[in-house]
Structure 1
Amino acid sequence: MTKNLVPFPIIETNRLVLRKINISDANSIFRYLSDKEVMKYYGLAPFETVDEALSEIAWYQSILDNKKGIRWGITLKEEDVVIGSCGFLNMVPEHHRTEIGYELSSSYWGKGIASEALHAVISYGFECFNLQRIEALIEPPNIPSLKLVEKQGFIREGLLRNYEFTGGKFDDLYMYSLLKQDFVELK
Protein backbone atom coordinates (compact mmCIF):
# COMPACT_ATOMS: atom_id res chain seq x y z
CA MET A 1 0.00 0.00 0.00
CA THR A 2 1.38 3.42 -0.93
CA LYS A 3 1.39 6.48 1.28
CA ASN A 4 -0.98 9.33 0.57
CA LEU A 5 0.83 11.54 -1.97
CA VAL A 6 -1.48 14.52 -1.52
CA PRO A 7 0.44 17.41 0.07
CA PHE A 8 -0.44 18.22 3.65
CA PRO A 9 -2.87 21.16 3.62
CA ILE A 10 -1.55 24.45 5.00
CA ILE A 11 -4.13 26.83 6.43
CA GLU A 12 -3.38 30.53 6.84
CA THR A 13 -5.35 33.01 8.95
CA ASN A 14 -4.69 36.66 9.79
CA ARG A 15 -2.00 35.81 12.36
CA LEU A 16 -1.39 32.08 12.00
CA VAL A 17 -0.04 29.38 9.75
CA LEU A 18 -1.41 25.91 10.51
CA ARG A 19 0.97 23.33 9.07
CA LYS A 20 2.19 19.77 9.36
CA ILE A 21 4.09 18.95 12.53
CA ASN A 22 7.52 17.44 11.84
CA ILE A 23 10.18 15.70 13.91
CA SER A 24 12.08 19.00 13.98
CA ASP A 25 9.19 20.42 16.07
CA ALA A 26 9.77 17.96 18.95
CA ASN A 27 11.44 20.48 21.27
CA SER A 28 8.66 23.05 20.76
CA ILE A 29 5.99 20.44 21.43
CA PHE A 30 7.86 19.15 24.46
CA ARG A 31 7.98 22.68 25.87
CA TYR A 32 4.20 23.08 26.05
CA LEU A 33 3.22 19.43 26.58
CA SER A 34 5.47 19.31 29.64
CA ASP A 35 3.42 22.14 31.20
CA LYS A 36 1.03 20.70 33.81
CA GLU A 37 -1.53 23.46 33.12
CA VAL A 38 -1.64 22.65 29.40
CA MET A 39 -1.91 18.92 30.19
CA LYS A 40 -4.52 19.25 32.92
CA TYR A 41 -7.35 18.07 30.64
CA TYR A 42 -5.28 16.41 27.89
CA GLY A 43 -5.68 12.87 29.19
CA LEU A 44 -1.94 12.32 29.59
CA ALA A 45 0.60 13.20 32.26
CA PRO A 46 2.88 16.15 31.45
CA PHE A 47 5.69 15.00 29.19
CA GLU A 48 9.04 14.38 30.85
CA THR A 49 11.19 13.71 27.79
CA VAL A 50 11.51 14.84 24.19
CA ASP A 51 10.97 11.18 23.22
CA GLU A 52 7.37 11.55 24.41
CA ALA A 53 6.98 14.52 22.04
CA LEU A 54 8.42 12.37 19.23
CA SER A 55 5.82 9.69 20.06
CA GLU A 56 3.09 12.33 19.89
CA ILE A 57 4.35 13.42 16.45
CA ALA A 58 4.35 9.77 15.34
CA TRP A 59 0.72 9.48 16.53
CA TYR A 60 -0.22 12.55 14.46
CA GLN A 61 1.32 10.85 11.41
CA SER A 62 -0.41 7.52 12.14
CA ILE A 63 -3.91 9.04 12.32
CA LEU A 64 -3.18 10.81 9.01
CA ASP A 65 -1.82 7.64 7.36
CA ASN A 66 -4.84 5.63 8.58
CA LYS A 67 -7.27 8.36 7.48
CA LYS A 68 -8.60 8.61 11.04
CA GLY A 69 -7.63 12.24 11.55
CA ILE A 70 -5.34 15.15 10.85
CA ARG A 71 -3.48 17.46 13.23
CA TRP A 72 -2.10 20.88 12.34
CA GLY A 73 0.69 22.63 14.21
CA ILE A 74 -0.25 26.17 15.19
CA THR A 75 2.47 28.72 14.38
CA LEU A 76 2.53 32.51 14.34
CA LYS A 77 3.15 33.91 10.84
CA GLU A 78 6.24 35.82 11.92
CA GLU A 79 7.90 32.77 13.49
CA ASP A 80 7.78 29.14 12.44
CA VAL A 81 7.60 27.65 15.96
CA VAL A 82 4.78 25.27 16.91
CA ILE A 83 2.91 26.73 19.89
CA GLY A 84 -0.01 24.31 19.89
CA SER A 85 -2.02 22.00 17.68
CA CYS A 86 -5.55 21.58 16.44
CA GLY A 87 -7.19 18.94 14.35
CA PHE A 88 -9.60 16.09 13.84
CA LEU A 89 -9.58 12.56 15.19
CA ASN A 90 -11.92 9.58 15.07
CA MET A 91 -13.09 10.61 11.60
CA VAL A 92 -16.08 8.63 10.34
CA PRO A 93 -16.34 9.59 6.64
CA GLU A 94 -19.42 7.47 5.93
CA HIS A 95 -21.31 9.50 8.55
CA HIS A 96 -19.58 12.82 7.70
CA ARG A 97 -18.51 13.36 11.31
CA THR A 98 -15.37 13.73 13.39
CA GLU A 99 -14.11 14.94 16.76
CA ILE A 100 -11.98 18.05 17.18
CA GLY A 101 -9.11 18.47 19.59
CA TYR A 102 -6.68 21.25 20.39
CA GLU A 103 -4.13 22.58 22.87
CA LEU A 104 -2.06 25.72 23.09
CA SER A 105 1.05 26.77 24.98
CA SER A 106 -0.01 28.64 28.13
CA SER A 107 2.21 31.56 27.07
CA TYR A 108 -0.35 32.29 24.33
CA TRP A 109 -3.58 31.86 26.31
CA GLY A 110 -6.06 34.74 26.29
CA LYS A 111 -4.90 36.18 22.94
CA GLY A 112 -7.58 34.71 20.66
CA ILE A 113 -5.10 32.33 19.02
CA ALA A 114 -6.98 29.13 19.91
CA SER A 115 -10.22 30.67 18.66
CA GLU A 116 -8.61 31.74 15.37
CA ALA A 117 -7.05 28.30 14.83
CA LEU A 118 -10.22 26.43 15.77
CA HIS A 119 -12.35 28.53 13.42
CA ALA A 120 -9.94 27.90 10.54
CA VAL A 121 -9.81 24.13 11.13
CA ILE A 122 -13.61 23.90 11.45
CA SER A 123 -14.03 25.83 8.18
CA TYR A 124 -11.54 23.54 6.48
CA GLY A 125 -13.37 20.45 7.76
CA PHE A 126 -16.78 21.55 6.51
CA GLU A 127 -15.48 22.79 3.16
CA CYS A 128 -12.79 20.22 2.28
CA PHE A 129 -13.77 17.05 4.15
CA ASN A 130 -17.50 17.44 3.50
CA LEU A 131 -18.25 17.09 7.21
CA GLN A 132 -21.76 17.52 8.52
CA ARG A 133 -20.99 17.23 12.24
CA ILE A 134 -17.96 18.08 14.38
CA GLU A 135 -17.94 16.90 17.98
CA ALA A 136 -15.97 18.20 20.95
CA LEU A 137 -15.63 16.12 24.14
CA ILE A 138 -14.68 18.32 27.08
CA GLU A 139 -14.29 17.72 30.82
CA PRO A 140 -16.82 19.85 32.75
CA PRO A 141 -14.21 21.73 34.84
CA ASN A 142 -12.36 22.85 31.68
CA ILE A 143 -14.21 26.19 31.54
CA PRO A 144 -11.88 27.91 29.01
CA SER A 145 -12.39 25.06 26.53
CA LEU A 146 -16.17 25.09 27.09
CA LYS A 147 -16.24 28.82 26.36
CA LEU A 148 -14.01 28.38 23.30
CA VAL A 149 -16.30 25.88 21.57
CA GLU A 150 -19.45 27.75 22.57
CA LYS A 151 -17.98 30.88 20.96
CA GLN A 152 -17.65 28.86 17.73
CA GLY A 153 -21.33 27.88 17.90
CA PHE A 154 -21.05 24.38 19.38
CA ILE A 155 -24.13 23.17 21.28
CA ARG A 156 -23.86 21.11 24.46
CA GLU A 157 -25.82 17.90 23.87
CA GLY A 158 -25.28 16.14 27.16
CA LEU A 159 -22.98 14.61 29.73
CA LEU A 160 -21.18 11.35 29.06
CA ARG A 161 -20.64 9.95 32.55
CA ASN A 162 -17.36 8.13 33.27
CA TYR A 163 -16.65 8.22 29.54
CA GLU A 164 -12.84 8.05 29.72
CA PHE A 165 -10.34 6.51 32.08
CA THR A 166 -7.28 8.76 32.19
CA GLY A 167 -4.73 9.53 34.85
CA GLY A 168 -6.02 6.70 37.05
CA LYS A 169 -9.59 8.03 37.22
CA PHE A 170 -12.84 8.07 35.28
CA ASP A 171 -13.74 11.39 33.67
CA ASP A 172 -17.13 12.74 32.72
CA LEU A 173 -17.19 14.57 29.38
CA TYR A 174 -19.64 17.01 27.90
CA MET A 175 -20.58 16.17 24.32
CA TYR A 176 -20.72 19.27 22.13
CA SER A 177 -21.52 19.35 18.44
CA LEU A 178 -21.44 21.82 15.61
CA LEU A 179 -23.42 21.11 12.45
CA LYS A 180 -22.41 22.49 9.08
CA GLN A 181 -25.55 24.59 8.70
CA ASP A 182 -25.08 26.10 12.18
CA PHE A 183 -21.50 27.12 11.41
CA VAL A 184 -22.45 28.69 8.08
CA GLU A 185 -25.06 30.81 9.87
CA LEU A 186 -22.33 32.25 12.16
CA LYS A 187 -20.12 33.54 9.33
Structure 2
Amino acid sequence: MIKTERLNIFPLSDEKMRNVIDNESNKALKAAYLEMLQGCLENPDQRIWYALWVLQLNDGSGNIVGSLSFKGLNDNGMLEIGYGINPKYEGKGLMTEAVSAIVRWASEQPGVLLIEAETEPDNIASQRVLEKAGFISSGVIGAEGSRFIWKKE
Protein backbone atom coordinates (compact mmCIF):
# COMPACT_ATOMS: atom_id res chain seq x y z
CA MET A 1 0.00 0.00 0.00
CA ILE A 2 1.14 3.51 -0.80
CA LYS A 3 0.09 6.17 1.68
CA THR A 4 -0.08 9.87 0.94
CA GLU A 5 -1.34 12.78 2.98
CA ARG A 6 -4.97 12.04 2.05
CA LEU A 7 -4.97 8.67 0.30
CA ASN A 8 -4.28 4.98 0.62
CA ILE A 9 -3.43 3.57 -2.82
CA PHE A 10 -3.43 -0.19 -3.27
CA PRO A 11 -3.95 -2.89 -5.91
CA LEU A 12 -7.09 -4.99 -5.80
CA SER A 13 -6.95 -8.76 -5.50
CA ASP A 14 -8.14 -10.88 -8.44
CA GLU A 15 -11.37 -11.56 -6.55
CA LYS A 16 -12.04 -7.85 -5.95
CA MET A 17 -11.21 -7.11 -9.59
CA ARG A 18 -13.82 -9.70 -10.61
CA ASN A 19 -16.35 -7.89 -8.38
CA VAL A 20 -15.54 -4.58 -10.08
CA ILE A 21 -15.95 -6.22 -13.50
CA ASP A 22 -19.27 -7.80 -12.52
CA ASN A 23 -20.62 -4.44 -11.35
CA GLU A 24 -19.29 -2.28 -14.20
CA SER A 25 -21.98 -1.08 -16.61
CA ASN A 26 -19.67 0.86 -18.97
CA LYS A 27 -18.71 -1.61 -21.72
CA ALA A 28 -15.35 0.02 -22.49
CA LEU A 29 -14.32 0.04 -18.81
CA LYS A 30 -15.54 -3.53 -18.35
CA ALA A 31 -13.39 -4.64 -21.31
CA ALA A 32 -10.37 -2.76 -19.92
CA TYR A 33 -10.84 -4.31 -16.47
CA LEU A 34 -11.15 -7.79 -18.02
CA GLU A 35 -7.88 -7.17 -19.89
CA MET A 36 -6.22 -6.09 -16.63
CA LEU A 37 -7.43 -9.19 -14.82
CA GLN A 38 -6.18 -11.37 -17.67
CA GLY A 39 -2.78 -9.65 -17.39
CA CYS A 40 -2.74 -10.41 -13.64
CA LEU A 41 -3.57 -14.06 -14.21
CA GLU A 42 -1.03 -14.49 -17.02
CA ASN A 43 1.76 -12.60 -15.23
CA PRO A 44 1.53 -13.45 -11.53
CA ASP A 45 5.16 -12.41 -10.94
CA GLN A 46 4.41 -8.95 -12.34
CA ARG A 47 0.83 -8.69 -11.16
CA ILE A 48 1.20 -5.14 -9.82
CA TRP A 49 1.79 -3.87 -13.35
CA TYR A 50 -1.62 -5.17 -14.50
CA ALA A 51 -3.87 -4.81 -11.43
CA LEU A 52 -6.48 -2.16 -10.84
CA TRP A 53 -5.31 0.13 -8.02
CA VAL A 54 -7.83 2.10 -5.98
CA LEU A 55 -7.55 5.49 -4.35
CA GLN A 56 -9.16 5.40 -0.93
CA LEU A 57 -9.51 8.40 1.34
CA ASN A 58 -7.54 7.82 4.54
CA ASP A 59 -9.91 9.96 6.61
CA GLY A 60 -11.63 6.92 8.10
CA SER A 61 -14.56 7.03 5.64
CA GLY A 62 -13.08 4.33 3.40
CA ASN A 63 -14.47 6.19 0.35
CA ILE A 64 -12.97 5.11 -2.97
CA VAL A 65 -12.44 8.29 -5.00
CA GLY A 66 -10.77 6.90 -8.10
CA SER A 67 -8.49 4.31 -9.60
CA LEU A 68 -5.37 3.92 -11.64
CA SER A 69 -3.54 1.18 -13.43
CA PHE A 70 -0.44 0.34 -15.37
CA LYS A 71 -0.45 -1.46 -18.70
CA GLY A 72 2.41 -3.86 -18.03
CA LEU A 73 6.17 -3.30 -17.81
CA ASN A 74 7.81 -3.83 -21.18
CA ASP A 75 11.34 -5.11 -21.88
CA ASN A 76 12.62 -1.53 -22.29
CA GLY A 77 11.58 -0.59 -18.74
CA MET A 78 8.53 1.38 -19.87
CA LEU A 79 5.18 1.48 -18.06
CA GLU A 80 2.03 3.20 -19.21
CA ILE A 81 -0.30 4.62 -16.58
CA GLY A 82 -4.01 5.33 -16.79
CA TYR A 83 -6.27 6.87 -14.16
CA GLY A 84 -9.71 8.22 -13.39
CA ILE A 85 -11.47 9.99 -10.55
CA ASN A 86 -15.07 10.18 -9.41
CA PRO A 87 -16.38 13.56 -10.62
CA LYS A 88 -17.46 14.36 -7.05
CA TYR A 89 -13.75 14.54 -6.09
CA GLU A 90 -12.40 16.45 -9.11
CA GLY A 91 -10.55 19.71 -8.55
CA LYS A 92 -9.27 18.80 -5.08
CA GLY A 93 -5.75 17.77 -6.09
CA LEU A 94 -6.36 14.12 -5.19
CA MET A 95 -5.40 12.74 -8.60
CA THR A 96 -2.23 14.83 -8.70
CA GLU A 97 -1.39 13.49 -5.24
CA ALA A 98 -2.06 9.92 -6.37
CA VAL A 99 -0.20 10.08 -9.70
CA SER A 100 2.81 11.78 -8.07
CA ALA A 101 2.94 9.10 -5.37
CA ILE A 102 2.50 6.14 -7.72
CA VAL A 103 5.17 7.49 -10.10
CA ARG A 104 7.59 7.94 -7.21
CA TRP A 105 6.83 4.41 -6.02
CA ALA A 106 7.04 2.87 -9.52
CA SER A 107 10.35 4.60 -10.24
CA GLU A 108 11.87 2.80 -7.26
CA GLN A 109 10.86 -0.64 -8.57
CA PRO A 110 13.43 -2.79 -10.42
CA GLY A 111 13.45 -2.39 -14.17
CA VAL A 112 11.31 0.76 -14.37
CA LEU A 113 12.99 3.50 -16.40
CA LEU A 114 10.18 5.37 -18.10
CA ILE A 115 6.47 6.02 -17.49
CA GLU A 116 4.08 7.21 -20.18
CA ALA A 117 0.51 8.42 -20.16
CA GLU A 118 -1.98 9.45 -22.81
CA THR A 119 -4.76 11.99 -22.45
CA GLU A 120 -7.27 13.56 -24.79
CA PRO A 121 -6.07 16.88 -26.23
CA ASP A 122 -8.97 18.80 -24.65
CA ASN A 123 -8.57 17.20 -21.20
CA ILE A 124 -6.65 20.08 -19.66
CA ALA A 125 -7.21 18.83 -16.09
CA SER A 126 -5.54 15.50 -16.88
CA GLN A 127 -2.66 17.25 -18.64
CA ARG A 128 -2.15 19.43 -15.54
CA VAL A 129 -2.09 16.31 -13.32
CA LEU A 130 0.65 14.85 -15.49
CA GLU A 131 2.67 18.07 -15.60
CA LYS A 132 2.47 18.49 -11.81
CA ALA A 133 3.64 14.87 -11.43
CA GLY A 134 6.74 15.55 -13.52
CA PHE A 135 5.62 14.40 -16.97
CA ILE A 136 6.39 16.33 -20.12
CA SER A 137 4.65 16.22 -23.48
CA SER A 138 6.41 13.88 -25.88
CA GLY A 139 4.90 15.61 -28.91
CA VAL A 140 3.38 12.29 -30.01
CA ILE A 141 -0.34 11.71 -30.49
CA GLY A 142 -1.45 8.19 -29.59
CA ALA A 143 -4.74 6.35 -29.99
CA GLU A 144 -6.26 8.15 -26.97
CA GLY A 145 -4.60 11.53 -27.46
CA SER A 146 -1.47 13.43 -26.48
CA ARG A 147 1.32 11.33 -24.97
CA PHE A 148 3.27 12.45 -21.92
CA ILE A 149 6.47 10.95 -20.57
CA TRP A 150 8.25 10.74 -17.22
CA LYS A 151 11.89 9.65 -17.28
CA LYS A 152 13.97 8.34 -14.42
CA GLU A 153 16.93 10.61 -13.78
Bigger Rg, structure 1 or 2: 1
Kindly indicate whether residue 115 of structure 2 is the aligned counterpart of residue 134 of structure 1. yes
Instruction: State whether residues 17 and 76 of structure 1, in contact with CA within 8 Å, keep that contact through their aligned partners in structure 2.
Output: yes
**Pair 1:17-2:11 in alignment:** no
Partner of 1:180: 152
- Contact 1:155 1:177 (8 Å CA) reproduced: yes
Q: Distance in 2 between matches of 1:158 and 1:110?
A: 26
| Residue 67 (structure 2) aligns with | 85
Tell me the equivalent position of 1:64.
Answer: 40
Q: How does 1:29-68 map to 2 (within 5 A)?
A: 30=24, 44=28, 52=30, 57-65=33-41, 66=43, 67=46
TM-superposition CA deviations, 1:82-108 (whole Å, max 9, x none): 22111211420x211110110000000
Partner of 2:95: 114
**What secondary structure is seen at the aligned counterpart in 2 of 1:115?**
helix
Amino acid across the alignment from 1:102: Y
Structure 2 unmatched ranges of 5 or more: none
1:60/1:71 contact within 8 Å kept = yes
| Percent identity of equivalent pairs | 26
Q: Is the 8 A contact 2:120 2:146 kept in 1?
A: yes
The answer for the alignment partner of 1:102 in structure 2 is: 83
RMSD (Å) for aligned C-alpha atoms = 2.7
SS of residue matched to 2:139: strand
TM-score scaled to structure 1, two decimals?
0.66
CA deviations 1:101-143 (Å, max 9, x no partner) are 1000000001111011111110111112431110111111111
Distance 1:180 1:118, change over 3 A: same
Q: Provide closer, same or farther for how the CA distance between residues 11 and 103 of structure 1 changes in structure 2, counting only shifts above 3 A.
A: same
Report the secondary structure of 1:64's partner residue.
helix
Runs (4+) off by over 6 Å? none
Letter in 2 for 1:26: V
Unaligned 5+ residue runs, structure 1?
1-9, 35-42, 165-170, 182-187
Task: Answer whether contact 2:2 2:8 (CA < 8 A) is retained.
Answer: yes
